[in-house]
């Protein structure tokens, strides 16, 4: 074992590597600069995620009343309701109702046609 240890010591002492101090320092400064740049990139990423999180969180409690307010405002201006258009069935002439019924019957919607005609006749009776 003693000879083995002596061989290891001789091998280590014979292979003395010469280091170039300028190359070593340039690589060291390059690694330090890369480490700083990575740290700045990571910090910038966390700041962006934080800002998006804060802005998203602030929108969770936002009400949508303003959107409904504008919709009501346009309804008053144009005097129409764009989402539920109410048509007075008395203003529709009989030919329109008959054409609609024939169309629905041609499409094979018998029960829808019956429901539509019942609804129109009931609405006429209520308004009279």
pLDDT at 82: 52
Helix (H, G, I), strand (E, B) or coil at 12: helix
Helix (H, G, I), strand (E, B) or coil at 112: helix
Extract the tokens encoding 77. Answer: 């201006």
- CA 113 – CA 116 distance, rounded (Å): 5
89 neighbors 123 (Cβ within 8 angstroms): yes
Q: Following CA atoms 54, 55, 57, 62 in sequence, which dihedral angle do they give, to the nearest 10 degrees?
A: 150
92 neighbors 123 (Cβ within 8 angstroms): no
pLDDT at 108: 84
pLDDT truncated to tens, each residue of the chain (128 aa)?
Answer: 688 888 878 777 665 567 788 988 999 999 999 999 999 999 999 999 999 998 888 777 666 555 555 555 554 455 555 554 555 545 556 777 788 788 888 888 888 888 888 887 777 666 65
Domain boundaries, the chain: 87-128
């Amino acid at each position: 074992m003693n000879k083995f240890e002596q061989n290891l010591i001789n091998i280590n002492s014979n292979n003395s590597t010469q280091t170039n101090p300028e190359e070593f320092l340039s690589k060291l400064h390059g690694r330090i600069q890369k480490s700083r740049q990575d740290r700045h990139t990571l910090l910038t990423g966390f700041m962006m995620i934080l800002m998006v999180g804060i802005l998203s969180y602030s929108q969770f409690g936002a009400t949508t009343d303003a959107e409904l307010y504008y919709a009501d405002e346009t309804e008053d201006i144009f005097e129409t309701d764009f989402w539920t258009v109410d048509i007075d069935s008395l203003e529709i002439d009989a030919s329109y109702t008959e054409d609609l019924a024939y169309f629905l019957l041609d499409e094979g919607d018998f029960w829808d046609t019956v429901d539509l005609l019942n609804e129109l006749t009931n609405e006429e009776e209520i308004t009279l």
